[in-house]
Structure 1
Amino acid sequence: MRLRLREFRPRTGPYEHRIVQPWHPLRHTSLSAPEPIGLLLGDHDGLNRLAGLFSFAAYSRHTVVHVPLRDGVPPDEGFGELVDLVLVHHSLGLRPSAWPGLRRKLRAGTPLLVRTDEARTARDAAAWRERAGRADFKDVLRQATHARTCFLLGSRDVFAETATWFAHAAGHGPYQKDVAKGYSRLMGEIPALVQPPGGGHPLDVLICFKPYPPYAHFRRPGEPFRRPGRSATRPRRPAAAP
């Protein structure tokens, strides 16, 4: 997948940070803070680009991926406070408390075009799933919410696994029942979130597909434009994820 990004190089003292954002906002995608349940609601374009951004984050351990989601079209369903999303490799050591100062410096970005490798992402995700059942398994996603931003900190393989969940939601969401009528459909969840101590309701971020209105104009990926009074051949449903 090709991703058009905007790159920033803000400095804090002697340190330079590399931060990227999508060049075009994900207008019809939103995220509510997981307190303890969060909802990520997106259309095909938004979920597909999130899959690419998670894949990019997996192999860019020195880069912070910032996805502004608060300024998109407000969702007509859901719950909780809307937040942005930041993906950070756990080895980078970025503290959420330092983010507001960095965010204020994101002013003059430069264009950046990158490609993701879906085959490599799938291999690393499969390796993550193979290890996930071990007793000593610790390759998880750590989550924190600060300054109206949801931070996800993880490794290459867990980001790759999360990318496959978003790819599945983007590919299969348009074929779910009644989505053309404006209904949202649950497609999965962000995997392997570290749970807070003390029990209680588990921390979770649900991934849901929903097309944006007007729903009468909704077309599934690959479906040709239909003129009034004419039918179109429905494209083949994508193969089920392994």
Structure 2
Amino acid sequence: MRLRLHEFRPRLGRHEHRVVQPRTALRHTSLSAPDPIGLLLGDHDGLSRLAALFSFAACSRHTVVHVPLRDGIPADEGWGEPVDLVLAHHTSGLRPSKWPELRRKLRQGTPLTARTDEARTARDAGSWREQEEHADFREELRHATYARTFFLFGSRGVFAEAATNLAYAAGWGPRQKRVHTGQSALMAALPSLVQPPGGGHPVEVLICFKPYPPYAHFRRPGR
């Protein structure tokens, strides 16, 4: 998939970060941070582009992917306060507490076009799933919520697995029953979120497909 992005090179002290954003907003996609359950709700375009952004993040160790989602069209279902999304590798050095300062520097970005490699993403996700079965597996998604932003810190494999889950939701969500009436369809979840100590309900972010209104425009594939 071809991604149209804006690229920024803001500095914090002596360190320069590379940050990219989608050039156009994901208007019909929203995210609520998990407390303990979050909801990622999107139409075909939004979920497809998120899948591509996760795929891009998987292969871009030194890039922070910022997806502004709070300014989209509010969903007519769900819960929690809307948040933006940031994807970064464990090794990026990004701290959530520094994000507001960094975000203020994201001005006048440079246009960037990137292509994702779906075959490589599928291979990386498959390798991650094989490793997940091992007892010493530790390749998880660390997460934090700060300044109305949900941060995911991971590595190539787990970001690739998230990309495949989102692609599945985008591709098969339109085929689910009753979505043409405006009902959402639960399709998947973000994989392997790090759980807090002490037990309790597991932290999850559910991925749901939902067409955007007016729903009369929507037709299930094959109908």
Query: What is the CA–CA distance in structure 2 between the aligned matches of 1:132 and 1:13, rounded to whole Å?
Result: 38
Q: Is 1:82 aligned with 2:82?
A: yes
Deviation readout 1:121-156 (Å, 9 max, x if unpaired): 000100000110100000100010000000000000
Q: Is 1:173 aligned with 2:173?
A: yes
Aligned to 2:199: 199
Aligned to 2:208: 208
- Partner secondary structure for residue 85 of structure 1: strand
Aligned to 2:6: 6
Amino acid paired to 1:217 = H
The Cα of 1:16 is off from its aligned counterpart by 1.1
The structure with more radius of gyration:
1
Query: What is the CA–CA distance in structure 1 between the aligned matches of 2:105 and 2:92, rounded to whole Å?
Result: 19
Query: What is the CA–CA distance in structure 2 between the aligned matches of 1:64 and 1:47, rounded to whole Å?
Result: 19
Count, aligned residues: 223
* CA-based RMSD: 0.9
Q: Where do 4+ consecutive residues of structure 1 move more than 6 Å?
A: none
The Cα of 1:219 is off from its aligned counterpart by 3.7
Aligned to 2:184: 184
Query: What is the CA–CA distance in structure 2 between the aligned matches of 1:56 and 1:139, rounded to whole Å?
Result: 18
The Cα of 1:200 is off from its aligned counterpart by 1.1
TM-score (normalised: structure 1): 0.91
Deviation readout 1:160-193 (Å, 9 max, x if unpaired): 0110000000000000001011000000100000
Deviation readout 1:49-93 (Å, 9 max, x if unpaired): 000000000000000000000000001000001000000000112
Query: What is the CA–CA distance in structure 1 between the aligned matches of 2:14 and 2:25, rounded to whole Å?
Result: 31
Aligned to 1:226: none
TM-score (normalised: structure 2): 0.98
Amino acid paired to 1:151 = F
Query: What is the CA–CA distance in structure 2 between the aligned matches of 1:149 and 1:99, rounded to whole Å?
Result: 9
1:47-62 alignment, distance < 5 Å:
47-62=47-62
Q: Is 1:43 aligned with 2:43?
A: yes
1:1-242 alignment, distance < 5 Å:
1-220=1-220, 234=222
The Cα of 1:107 is off from its aligned counterpart by 1.1
Amino acid paired to 1:158 = V
Query: What is the CA–CA distance in structure 1 between the aligned matches of 2:20 and 2:97, rounded to whole Å?
Result: 19
Deviation readout 1:77-114 (Å, 9 max, x if unpaired): 00001000000000112111010000011111111000
- Partner secondary structure for residue 208 of structure 2: strand
Percent pairwise identity: 74
Unaligned residue ranges in structure 1 (runs of 5+): 224-233, 236-242
Query: What is the CA–CA distance in structure 2 between the aligned matches of 1:155 and 1:13, rounded to whole Å?
Result: 25
